Amino acid sequence: MRVVVFGAGYAGLTLTQRLESSLPDSVELLLVDETETHLVRHELHRVIRRPAVIDAIEVPLGSVLDRARVVTGSIDGIDPEAGLATFRDGQVPEVAREDGTLAYDYGAVCLGSETAFYDLPGVKEHGLPLKRKEHALSIRDRFLDLCETLEPRETRRVVVGGGGLSGIQIAGELAALARERSVPVGPANGTDATNAGRIEIVLLEQLETLAPGFGSAFQRAIRAALVDHGVDVRTKTPVREATADAVETDAGTLETDLFVWAGGIRGPDATAGERPTVRADLRLSESTFVVGDAGRIVDADGRSVPATASAAIRASETAAENLTRLVEHALDDTTEFEPSLERYRYSVPGWAVSVGDEAVAVVGGQVLTGQPARKLKAAIGGGYLASTRATRQAIQLVQSELGLPTRGLPDRSER
Which helix (H) or strand (E) segment is 222 a member of?
Answer: helix 216-228
Residue 165 within binding range of ligand FAD, rule CB under 6 A: yes
Report if residue 127 touches ligand FAD, rule: CB under 6 A.
no
Is residue 382 a contact residue for ligand FAD (CB under 6 A)?
no
Please choose, out of 107-115, 152-160, 209-217, 327-335, the segment that lies near ligand FAD by the rule CB under 6 A.
107-115
Binding footprint of ligand FAD, residue count (CB under 6 A): 36
CB-based closest residue to ligand FAD: 9
Q: State which of residues 206, 209, 308, 388 lies at the interface with ligand FAD (CB under 6 A).
A: 308
Candidates 101-109, 234-242, 308-316, 367-375: pick the segment binding ligand FAD (CB under 6 A).
308-316
Q: Minimum CB separation from ligand FAD for residue 195, in Å?
A: 34
141 close to 128: Cβ distance less than 8 angstroms: no
d(CA 227, CA 218): 14
Alpha helices in 161-200 (DSSP H): 165-180
The residues near 235 (Cβ < 8 Å, ≥ 6 apart) are: 163, 205, 207, 208, 209, 210
Phi, psi dihedrals of residue 316, rounded to the nearest 5°: -70, -25
Shortest Å, Cβ 381 to ligand FAD: 9
Exposure of 173 by Cβ count < 10 A (0-12 exposed, 13-18 middle, 19+ buried)? buried
Q: Within positions 206 to 265, which residues make up the interface with ligand FAD, using CB under 6 A?
A: none
Among positions 4, 5, 9, 318, the unique one binding ligand FAD when judged by CB under 6 A: 9
Binding of residue 33 to ligand FAD (CB under 6 A)? yes
With CB under 6 A as the contact rule, the residue among 139, 307, 323, 368 that binds ligand FAD is 307
Of 71 and 178, CB closest to ligand FAD: 71
Count other Cβ atoms within 10 Å, centred on residue 64. Answer: 20
C-alpha 103 chain-centroid distance: 29
Is 110 one of the binding residues for ligand FAD (CB under 6 A)? yes
Nearer to ligand FAD, 106 or 198 (CB): 106
Q: Is 45 in the site for ligand FAD (CB under 6 A)?
A: yes
| Other beta carbons less than 10 A from residue 314's beta carbon | 20
Hey, which bits of 134-179 come out as E strands? Answer: 155-161
- The angle at the Cα of 362, spanning 358 to 367, to the nearest 5 degrees, equals 75
Compare residues 166 and 256 and give the one whose CB is closer to ligand FAD: 166
- Residue 401 found at the interface with ligand FAD (CB under 6 A): no
Residue 316 to residue 15: CA distance in whole angstroms: 5
Q: How far is CA 78 from CA 16, 196, 279, 297, 318, in A?
A: 18, 55, 19, 19, 21
Among 3, 4, 11, 247, binds ligand FAD (CB under 6 A): 11
Residue 147 vs 168, nearer CB to ligand FAD? 168
CB 233 within 8 A of CB 168: no
Question: Strand, coil or helix: what is 160?
Answer: strand
Q: Which is nearer to ligand FAD, 150 or 385 (CB)?
A: 385
Residue choice 2, 20, 22, 34 for contact with ligand FAD (CB under 6 A) = 34
Q: Is the dihedral of CA 233, 239, 244, 245 positive or negative?
A: negative
Please report, as ranges, the residues that interact with ligand FAD according to CB under 6 A: 7-12, 32-35, 39, 41-42, 44-45, 74-75, 110-112, 130-131, 165-166, 169, 268, 270, 292-294, 307-310, 312, 353
